[in-house]
């Protein structure tokens, strides 16, 4: 009976201990991810029956420079490649987010300060939900190609078109929409697109996007992705081909998604000649429209109009910019077998910075991102300068970064300008090519793009004061209150801090994964495989998670669960170190044994105030014998000889932050030499809260530091050092230089 009770006690103790120290952080994610099927496989690649829809557009649009208005007409041809019959279509009307009393303004929260005596006018109209702006699409016609009215219903930012008859699998349907809308002043109303007014010369610079009714995505994962556009969650879009005619004042220069089809009709002979020259210039940009020429056009406005014609194949969206203020330069880039044009459009207010740096940044981005993913497939990549904006579309993006009014700038201004160009041009890859659902998973484009932005900036601009999107940079957020955090795997409309949660934290996580968990070579191969598999397709989070594991043979479920599904942080405490020494045959062990077990924190010698100068606990190695049925013998003398005189350090680490992490240790020896040692995260697999490990060293140790180079996003550097503060003079040096 006594034995039974003892066994029960032991089992209960083990169970209780296990419950305290186990939260399933190393358990597989199978129950968290969608079940693999014929459309999306367990390996993370598209299945044998994968399908996706297609939508082609023929658009004619005119920009009214006098009234800041867009008028357009489009024919959409929608191809049903799904196995299902469709009885209705969903169209996105994103301009409706700027309607008076829109859904986003109704659902938004706002308040005045407790003691308020004055509020700025722009801030007031936003807080009070009344901008005084007549925004939103004004639909004039929704018809089939024969001119028959189609039945439709507008639900805020979505429009449902009921089809005259069901659209069978493999079929297509064409229809026409006519519309107009007022273009918003971004300085007053805000928005991802709109115009900027330059009062000094009376001209406008237009960055136009979400300007046409667009097909929503219908896929195997969600059916229709028809979540309302509320402002934070961006876009889910279908690939297709575009033929677009853009009518503007004749003195405007247009930059656009796609390739210009009629340069002789819209460019002067000199501009057309320079444009052709740029296609062969690989060493530096060619100025197609000079600052002097742009300034001349600012002084008088053309009464004529011109129509710029663009074609774009296999893109998910379309945007353009237009202004008579534009300076324009271009340079050819060699990317694999492709030679796209890197181009920049900017007003004189952007110079001299933009002429010096913009197109160079586009070139650097195309090269580096192509190396990490796939060769850039489109014919152009454009950076447009507009105030206080960073926004991306296929082949074109709108970017901030303006010198001071006198044209001067410092490294801070230059850094902001360069990194936003890298980031927004980089969006050509995520999500314009690897076409994730931004409306649902902001991190799949913003986070992956921020990660590649980080790598590009470090590679091409090491001299600039750039420290974004790194493990070190995310620490202030990670150590903040959990009440104001959401996991990465959160819809952007529910995010509390979208910048860290969709951009910098996912990037920091991938930096840790690449540099500390997988290693660059293995990570880069897996990441490139993900891009190859899902280029011009619609990946979901599980496809990324599964591909990274499938292509690397690294079990990363613990990593995804911790970094992406929780708000845990890295806070590893070097809690305790004990020093032992393996004795040789001739040593008198009894006279050297430390009564307290060689605990360095409690048994420090007084020499130099450094606990590592205390006496170690020595132990000898006794003979071992091979048991059971083995006939061989242990070479005890060889083992004793191998370990004789070695220093053994027993270290205990506490996981105070909860986030599973590898251990990166810097050992400093008494002779001044250093060593970096890396322990995989799997050390925590049996106890997620505290682990103890023995380290064998030839030399005696002076100090040890966890995360010495701030590569793991540890939020408390003060408990990373042993001996702890007050017992090691080296600690203060570590705090200052991080080494």
Q: What is the pLDDT of residues 198-232, one digit of tens each?
A: 999 999 999 999 999 999 999 999 999 999 998 88
Res. 732: pLDDT tops 80: no
Res. 595: pLDDT tops 90: no
Give the mean pLDDT of the chain: 91
In a domain, 437, yes or no: no
Q: What percent of the chain has pLDDT over 90?
A: 83
Q: Are strands 259-260 and 305-315 parallel, antiparallel or unpaired?
A: antiparallel
Q: Smallest Cα–Cα separation from 211: which of 135, 156, 144?
A: 135
Average the pLDDT over 712-738 and give the result. Answer: 69
State the CB neighbour count (10 A cutoff) for residue 548: 23
202-207 contacts: CB < 8 A, separation 24 or more? 203/298, 203/323, 203/324, 203/325, 204/65, 204/68, 204/323, 205/321, 205/323, 205/325, 205/326, 205/347, 205/386, 206/63, 206/321, 206/322, 206/323, 207/319, 207/321, 207/384, 207/386, 207/389, 207/391, 207/398
Q: What is the pLDDT of residue 243?
A: 98
Q: Provide the CA 373 distance to its chain's centre, in angstroms.
A: 14
Question: Could you give the CA distance from residue 504 to residue 498 in angstroms, rounded to a whole number?
Answer: 9
Q: Provide the CA 385 distance to its chain's centre, in angstroms.
A: 22
State the residue range of the domain holding 690. Answer: 572-625+632-737
Q: What is the pLDDT of residue 651?
A: 96
**pLDDT tens sequence across 86-127:** 999 999 999 999 988 777 777 777 777 777 778 888 777 777
Q: How many residues in total does the chain contain?
A: 739
Res. 11: pLDDT tops 90: no
Q: Provide the CA 238 distance to its chain's centre, in angstroms.
A: 21
Q: What is the pLDDT of residue 585?
A: 55
Q: What is the pLDDT of residue 725?
A: 67
Contact between residue 574 and residue 721 where contact means Cβ atoms under 8 Å apart:
yes
Sign of the CA dihedral 683, 689, 694, 698? positive
Q: Out of 29-38, 88-97, 447-456, 598-607, which region has the weakest mean confidence (pLDDT)?
A: 598-607
Question: Could you give the CA distance from residue 408 to residue 517 in angstroms, rounded to a whole number?
Answer: 43
Average the pLDDT over 27-31 and give the result. Answer: 92
Based on DSSP, count helices (H) and strands (E) in the chain, helices before strands.
Answer: 17, 31
Average the pLDDT over 558-587 and give the result. Answer: 90
Average the pLDDT over 695-701 and give the result. Answer: 96
Res. 593: pLDDT tops 70: no
Contact between residue 449 and residue 372 where contact means Cβ atoms under 8 Å apart:
no
**pLDDT tens sequence across 175-196:** 999 999 999 999 999 999 999 9
Cis peptide before 431 (omega within 30 of 0): yes
Sign of the CA dihedral 402, 406, 410, 412? negative
Res. 689: pLDDT tops 90: yes
Average the pLDDT over 664-680 and give the result. Answer: 97
Give Dmax over CA atoms of the chain in angstroms. 104
Cis peptide before 148 (omega within 30 of 0): no
Torsion-angle region of 192 (φ positive above 0: left; ψ -120 to 50: alpha; else: beta):
alpha
Question: Could you give the CA distance from residue 612 to residue 721 in angstroms, rounded to a whole number?
Answer: 13
User: Under DSSP, is residue 549 helix (H, G, I), strand (E, B) or coil?
Assistant: helix
Q: What is the pLDDT of residue 724?
A: 85
End-of-domain residue from the set 203, 238, 273: 238
In a domain, 63, yes or no: yes
Q: What is the pLDDT of residue 398?
A: 98
Res. 376: pLDDT tops 80: yes
Contact between residue 599 and residue 576 where contact means Cβ atoms under 8 Å apart:
yes
Q: Out of 151-155, 398-402, 564-568, 727-731, which region has the weakest mean confidence (pLDDT)?
A: 727-731
pLDDT category at 535 given cuts 50, 70, 90 is: very high
In a domain, 528, yes or no: no
In a domain, 295, yes or no: no
Res. 706: pLDDT tops 70: yes
In a domain, 730, yes or no: yes
Pseudo-torsion of CA 387, 393, 394, 399, nearest 10°? 20
In a domain, 375, yes or no: no
**pLDDT tens sequence across 289-341:** 999 999 999 998 999 999 999 999 999 999 999 999 999 999 999 999 999 99
Which tokens belong to 537?
């397709």
How far, CA to CA in Å, does 333 sit from each of 320, 343, 368, 410, 452? Answer: 22, 10, 12, 28, 19
- Structural domain count of the chain: 2
Contact between residue 254 and residue 306 where contact means Cβ atoms under 8 Å apart:
no
Q: Smallest Cα–Cα separation from 59: which of 275, 299, 246, 330?
A: 246
Q: Out of 312-316, 542-546, 547-551, 584-588, which region has the weakest mean confidence (pLDDT)?
A: 584-588
Q: Are strands 327-332 and 259-260 parallel, antiparallel or unpaired?
A: unpaired
Average the pLDDT over 19-40 and give the result. Answer: 89
End-of-domain residue from the set 238, 269, 287: 238
Which tokens belong to 377?
């497939």
pLDDT category at 600 given cuts 50, 70, 90 is: very low
Pseudo-torsion of CA 410, 412, 414, 416, nearest 10°? -160
Question: Could you give the CA distance from residue 217 to residue 239 in angstroms, rounded to a whole number?
Answer: 9
Res. 607: pLDDT tops 50: no
Terminal alpha carbon distance of the chain: 59
Contact between residue 443 and residue 501 where contact means Cβ atoms under 8 Å apart:
yes
Listed in sequence order, the residues at least 6 apart from 131 whose beta carbon sits closer than 8 Å to its beta carbon are 98, 100, 125, 188, 189
Q: Smallest Cα–Cα separation from 150: which of 167, 162, 138, 136?
A: 162
State the CB neighbour count (10 A cutoff) for residue 305: 14
Q: What is the pLDDT of residue 354?
A: 98
Contact between residue 377 and residue 336 where contact means Cβ atoms under 8 Å apart:
no
Q: Provide the CA 63 distance to its chain's centre, in angstroms.
A: 34
In a domain, 247, yes or no: no
Question: Could you give the CA distance from residue 204 to residue 185 in angstroms, rounded to a whole number?
Answer: 10
Instruction: Identify the CATH number of the domain in which residue 230 sits.
Output: 2.60.40
Q: What is the pLDDT of residue 587?
A: 41
Res. 594: pLDDT tops 70: no
pLDDT category at 727 given cuts 50, 70, 90 is: low
Task: Catalogue the E-assigned strands of 586-628.
Answer: 617-619
Cis peptide before 200 (omega within 30 of 0): no
- C-alpha atoms less than 13 angstroms from C-alpha of 232 in its C-beta half-sphere: 21
- DSSP string of 43-96, one letter each residue: TSSB-TT----EEEEEEEEEEETTTTEEEEEEEEEEE--SSS-EEEEEEE-GGG
**pLDDT tens sequence across 342-359:** 999 999 999 999 999 999
Res. 40: pLDDT tops 60: yes
Q: What is the pLDDT of residue 733?
A: 41
Backbone angles phi, psi at 521, to 5 degrees: -65, -50
Which tokens belong to 571?
């806070």
Question: Could you give the CA distance from residue 333 to residue 342 in angstroms, rounded to a whole number?
Answer: 7
Contact between residue 471 and residue 712 where contact means Cβ atoms under 8 Å apart:
yes
End-of-domain residue from the set 238, 269, 300: 238
In a domain, 540, yes or no: no
pTM above 0.75, yes or no: yes
Contact between residue 135 and residue 98 where contact means Cβ atoms under 8 Å apart:
yes
Percent helix / strand / coil, the chain, rounded to 5 = 30, 30, 45
Q: What percent of the chain has pLDDT over 70?
A: 91
Average the pLDDT over 374-378 and give the result. Answer: 98
How far, CA to CA in Å, does 461 sit from each of 45, 454, 464? Answer: 35, 10, 6
Which tokens belong to 527?
């990441």
Average the pLDDT over 465-483 and give the result. Answer: 97
Q: Smallest Cα–Cα separation from 706: which of 732, 724, 694?
A: 724
pLDDT category at 453 given cuts 50, 70, 90 is: very high
């Amino acid at each position: 009976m006594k034995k039974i009770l003892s066994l029960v006690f032991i089992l209960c103790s083990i169970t209780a201990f296990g419950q305290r120290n186990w939260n399933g952080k190393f358990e597989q994610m199978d129950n968290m991810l969608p079940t693999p099927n014929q459309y999306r496989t367990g390996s993370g690649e598209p299945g044998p029956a994968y399908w996706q829809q297609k939508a082609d557009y023929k658009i004619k649009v005119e920009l009214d420079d006098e009234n800041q208005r867009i008028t357009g007409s489009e024919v959409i041809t929608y191809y049903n490649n799904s196995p299902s019959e469709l009885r209705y279509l969903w169209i996105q009307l994103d301009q409706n987010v700027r309607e008076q009393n829109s859904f986003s303004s109704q659902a938004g929260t706002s308040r005045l300060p407790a003691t308020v005596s004055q509020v700025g006018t722009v801030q007031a109209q936003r807080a009070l939900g009344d901008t005084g702006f007549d925004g939103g699409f004004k639909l004039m016609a929704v018809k089939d190609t024969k001119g028959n009215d189609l039945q439709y219903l507008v639900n805020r930012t979505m429009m449902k078109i009921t089809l005259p008859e069901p659209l069978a699998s493999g079929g297509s349907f064409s229809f026409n929409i006519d519309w107009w809308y007022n273009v918003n002043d971004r300085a007053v109303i805000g928005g991802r697109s709109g115009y900027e007014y330059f009062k000094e010369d009376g001209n406008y610079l237009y960055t136009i996007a979400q300007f046409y009714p667009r097909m929503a995505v219908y896929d195997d994962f969600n059916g229709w992705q028809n979540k309302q556009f509320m402002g934070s969650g961006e876009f889910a879009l279908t690939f297709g081909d575009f033929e677009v005619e853009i009518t503007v004042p004749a003195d405007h220069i247009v930059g656009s998604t796609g390739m210009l089809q009629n340069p002789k009709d819209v460019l002067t002979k000199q501009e057309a000649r320079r444009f052709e020259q740029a296609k062969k210039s690989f060493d530096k940009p060619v100025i197609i429209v000079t600052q002097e020429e742009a300034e001349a056009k600012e002084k008088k406005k053309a009464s004529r109009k011109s129509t710029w014609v663009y074609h774009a194949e296999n893109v998910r969206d379309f945007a353009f910019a237009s202004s008579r203020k534009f300076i324009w330069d271009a340079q050819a880039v060699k990317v694999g077998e492709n030679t796209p044009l890197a181009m920049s459009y900017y007003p004189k207010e952007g110079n001299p910075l933009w002429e010096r740096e913009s197109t160079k940044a586009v070139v650097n981005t195309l090269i580096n991102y192509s190396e990490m993913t796939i060769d850039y497939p489109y014919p152009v990549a454009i950076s447009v300068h507009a105030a206080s904006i960073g926004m991306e579309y296929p082949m074109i993006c709108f970017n901030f970064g303006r010198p001071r009014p006198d044209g001067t700038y410092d490294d801070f201004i230059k850094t902001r300008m360069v990194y936003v160009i890298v980031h927004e041009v980089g969006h050509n890859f995520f999500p314009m090519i690897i076409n994730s659902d931004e409306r649902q998973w902001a991190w799949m484009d913003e986070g992956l793009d921020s990660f590649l932005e980080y790598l590009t900036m470090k590679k091409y601009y090491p001299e600039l004061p750039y420290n974004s999107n790194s493990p070190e940079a995310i620490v202030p957020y990670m150590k903040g209150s959990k009440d104001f955090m959401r996991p990465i795997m959160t819809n952007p409309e529910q995010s509390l801090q979208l910048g860290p949660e969709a951009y910098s934290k996912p990037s920091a996580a991938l930096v840790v994964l690449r540099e500390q968990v997988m290693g660059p070579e293995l990570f880069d191969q897996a990441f490139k495989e993900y891009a190859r598999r899902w280029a011009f397709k619609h990946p979901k989070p599980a496809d990324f998670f599964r591909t990274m594991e499938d292509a690397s043979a690294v079990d990363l479920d613990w990593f995804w669960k911790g970094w992406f599904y929780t708000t845990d942080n890295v806070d590893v405490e070097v809690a305790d170190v004990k020093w032992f020494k393996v004795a040789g045959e001739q040593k008198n062990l009894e006279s050297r044994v430390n009564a307290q077990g060689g605990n360095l924190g409690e048994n420090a010698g007084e020499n130099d105030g450094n606990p590592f100068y205390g006496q170690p606990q020595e132990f000898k190695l006794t003979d071992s014998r091979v048991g059971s049925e083995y006939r061989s013998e242990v070479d005890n003398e060889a083992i004793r000889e191998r370990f004789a005189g070695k220093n053994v350090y027993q270290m205990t680490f506490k996981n105070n932050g909860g986030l599973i992490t590898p251990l990166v240790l810097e050992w400093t020896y008494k002779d001044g030499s250093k060593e970096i040692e890396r322990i995989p995260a799997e050390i925590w697999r049996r106890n997620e809260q505290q682990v103890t490990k023995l380290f064998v060293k030839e030399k005696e140790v002076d100090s040890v530091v966890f995360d010495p180079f701030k590569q793991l996003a540890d939020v408390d550097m003060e408990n990373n050092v042993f001996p702890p503060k007050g017992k090691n003079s080296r600690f203060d040096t570590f705090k200052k230089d991080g080494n």
